[in-house]
Structure 1
């Protein structure tokens, strides 16, 4: 109990002090918030939103994290944004990185019963942070009148490859963050019963992992999964062990020698993690290329696979599942910077899917190669295949299954986005909606949005506000968003009008005639 009260102790001084009004103090229902107190423990990032940075846990290298102790008090609050967890290509990192960046509208006061959105960042489980400018949470917090909490967790080998074989350390980090938040947000005006977890890409995979953990079920009410590559499934213990053995062999340490493991430099570990990432598919093709280091279905913490290869549990939590029109754009057009022939197209499909699946896909006529301006370019076909089976169709299969087991599932596809910074250098993405282009829409961080983008930002923030508060994203004046059924996703277009095209995502094709990776490898 002492550890769980820490969040309360940290934020109470900033938000509960009652003083005389000051120039930009806010009076709500007789409670006055002090500019001085906000300035002491937080940063006023908008005139109506204050940001707090809270350390939620401590962790020794390759050991489970533990929630912070109340005895550490306000020393665990800092005004500056936290260092990211160690990752390649970033100098501002630290192993002491288990922080939550919390955005609190100044209109929220004790007793407000406000909702909380807990955002889990993406980055293939090897990169990213809670301080990424694209997930700056103040605009979303203000628009939804909710608390927005961005969570950091250990990445790469430091989060998933403990030499002694302890798995899912990063998942346990996020559980600690949720535990602290569930105890703390009621003291600052949030409701313990209105916590929604959300994430994009690997962040959405983390959300799915939390949905597969019965012991974490009480920590949140609903979930939002944006662009989760569900085709991969969770790793099996066998695949994890294969990767673990390879990782351990990159060092001279005995796996049980904690002293030796502690003496390794962060750079050595990050380098070894990168080598594992690049070699994973050659070690075991079940890893896939996009998230080879990811949560493990260990049977102890993560007890459900949440795939069609095993008994899917009965569920009740509302979920919101979205993809974007061109998820694979950065991948395909990153690999192939110039047009490719139909022969190269077919070879790539065979190398990716294997002969049996490739034969079915190519014979289906669903993915044809066409010439534009007299030039044959098979990249659009490859992009469509990858988008469908890695993201769109696998997410639709998941949503139909979720609905069949009792849980409300709302499904959507973005056909309008705002170019994510890393997509700016990819010409294809300048006219398409690529992976991550939904993030600036949801968070309202798009740079100079045009009228259509502004309209979509307002729509999605209104829908998120409704979902956070009522478990339903429908808002008066907007297109009706119906829940999925066991046979249909009822997916809508986001940024467009009407239902999303089914195309190859019919139940009889992907997941049936053509198996997903998790089906092929029994994940």
Structure 2
């Protein structure tokens, strides 16, 4: 096989012409679903149509409709469109069909409202070169177009589907199963991985029966595991979206432009957490069908899909939300108090921890940092620990906490905040002129942290223990040792890292936040 031959991939839809940079080959803008617009808005995705000839796969497809966000650059020359269900594949250039490399499928984050597979951070060349993997990055529908639950407005003549973004991811994973071999991948060795909202979709997939067989391993980074709606609440948000659109029914809502839906969803996105601290407006929903039960309950009870899981969070998750003045996380005393009251009102039968019991877990924490700690732990850390403990009863689990930061991020009071692990994982430590991360040093150490993370993540995808050269072996997490990897300038293994938090928060699953 010549280098030119490797640029053409034969998929179930037709031939695709890619590009090579020498070390890797990449195919961009591959359609995996028909346009979800017009009558297909708020409907389950349908497979894309086949084509004749060699389709050019040299450019990214459009990003999902969203308002511009300086914190989430979509990439140069990227526009948004409802016709957004595209994916991208990158492989080592010396790989051909049937070579059987593990496949890693990336689900981006962005609070279920922002982001795209085209983000420069997710270029993937470094990860593919370091790990000898086939990398797939996917788009899915966002915000009011991807997470609105509008079943209450459906009629026999005008139907809708729910959990649309999750359905998009499932269809993309089906595409991977059908086409992995064309790119040198092994469909039986697929790892789905994601961060933040992407991590939330990954943990939801673990509680989605129809996802069985679509992936063999899972990685969830900073997953808001428990931020999944009950259907009634999700439909309340959907009704609110239609009111903001000024639409009395689905036909009127479909007549609105995608930008009008995005703008209406933005107003809902701002209002809901201001009224209900700790509640994110758009997220997966427990619909009783695709997602039969709440994912955190399923995982805590050891009833998820029996696949190995690598899961963890960052040490200072909540500082980014404070820095950005985001309403999504309750940080102040009034909002935390309101959240505890809402928890008690919504779960009157549950033995929830008292405020005093929770505060015992933060002995020695400065008062001004207390809210950040509580927000971090109820939003990310404790649901992650509960999920790890339950899932470890049925499959191998590796738990981590990312502590690595730089002098500049410490000076800014940000530390190892939400998403700060991403540049290390993707090997993209040069964030551009406006990135302050390494202004006071730390880049050399950062490259070593990046090397180890890439080794660990890709070793896991290969089916090996997620260990790295020159670093401690990463033991499986279980109820006896609770071994946790702390990722820092030098990695270390800590037994029961979260012991005080577990005792403070207790074992009750907060399955409604």
Q: Which of the five TM-score ranges fits, normalised by the shorter chain? A: 0.7 to 0.9
* 2:294 counterpart (305, 311, 315): 305
Partner of 1:493: 486
Q: Residues of 1 paired with 2:172 and 2:9: CA distance? A: 24
- Describe the superposition over 1:246-303 as per-residue Cα deviations: whole angstroms up to 9, x where unpaired: 122223434342xx333201221111111221222467x4x834x3201111111112
- Count, aligned residues: 463
Are residues 1:198 and 2:193 paired? yes
* 1:241 counterpart (214, 232, 235): 235
Unmatched 5+ residue regions in structure 2? 11-15, 70-77, 155-159, 345-352, 431-437
RMSD over equivalenced CA pairs, Å: 3.1
Q: Residues of 1 paired with 2:82 and 2:195: CA distance? A: 23
Are residues 1:211 and 2:201 paired? no
Are residues 1:63 and 2:30 paired? no
Alignment of 1:422-437 (within 5 A): 427-429=412-414, 432-437=415-420
Are residues 1:320 and 2:305 paired? no
* 1:117 counterpart (76, 80, 104): 104
Indicate the SS of the match to 1:499. Answer: strand
Q: Residues of 2 paired with 1:253 and 1:144: CA distance? A: 49
Q: CA deviation at 1:502?
A: 2.5
Partner of 2:88: 101
Are residues 1:360 and 2:371 paired? no
Q: Residues of 2 paired with 1:120 and 1:418: CA distance? A: 27
Indicate the SS of the match to 2:89. Answer: strand
Alignment of 1:321-470 (within 5 A): 321-335=311-325, 346-354=333-341, 359-361=355-357, 363-364=359-360, 366-368=362-364, 370=366, 378-404=367-393, 406-417=394-405, 427-429=412-414, 432-447=415-430, 450-470=443-463
Q: Residues of 2 paired with 1:368 and 1:348: CA distance? A: 22
- Describe the superposition over 1:124-164 as per-residue Cα deviations: whole angstroms up to 9, x where unpaired: 11000001111111111111111111100000010121644
Indicate the SS of the match to 1:218. Answer: coil
Unmatched 5+ residue regions in structure 1? 1-17, 20-24, 26-31, 337-343, 371-377
Deviates most, 126-135 or 478-487: 478-487
Indicate the SS of the match to 1:327. Answer: coil
Partner of 1:8: none
Change (3 A) 1:511 1:74: farther
Indicate the SS of the match to 2:462. Answer: helix
TM-score by length of 1: 0.80
Q: Residues of 2 paired with 1:114 and 1:505: CA distance? A: 41
* 2:475 counterpart (473, 482, 494): 482
Q: CA deviation at 1:220?
A: 0.5
- Describe the superposition over 1:165-194 as per-residue Cα deviations: whole angstroms up to 9, x where unpaired: 521011111111111111101122110101
Partner of 2:283: 294
Change (3 A) 1:189 1:487: same
Q: CA deviation at 1:488?
A: 4.8
Equivalent residues of 1:85, 1:152 under 8 A apart = yes
* 2:244 counterpart (221, 246, 250): 250
Change (3 A) 1:144 1:402: same
- Describe the superposition over 1:316-365 as per-residue Cα deviations: whole angstroms up to 9, x where unpaired: 200000211111111234449xxxxxxx9644542343397573256526
Partner of 1:43: 19
- Describe the superposition over 1:10-37 as per-residue Cα deviations: whole angstroms up to 9, x where unpaired: xxxxxxxx45xxxxx4xxxxxx746799
Alignment of 1:506-521 (within 5 A): 506-512=501-507, 517-518=510-511, 521=512
Deviates most, 122-131 or 294-303: 294-303
* 1:78 counterpart (57, 61, 80): 57
* 2:68 counterpart (80, 83, 89): 89
Indicate the SS of the match to 1:470. Answer: coil
Partner of 2:73: none
Q: CA deviation at 1:307?
A: 2.4
Change (3 A) 1:183 1:270: same
Q: CA deviation at 1:443?
A: 0.7
Q: CA deviation at 1:64?
A: 1.3
Equivalent residues of 1:467, 1:473 under 8 A apart = yes
- Describe the superposition over 1:72-103 as per-residue Cα deviations: whole angstroms up to 9, x where unpaired: 6644x431222210001268201111110211
Change (3 A) 1:417 1:131: farther
Q: Residues of 2 paired with 1:504 and 1:276: CA distance? A: 37
Change (3 A) 1:314 1:328: closer
Please say which structure displays the higher CA radius of gyration: 1
Q: Residues of 1 paired with 2:304 and 2:500: CA distance? A: 24
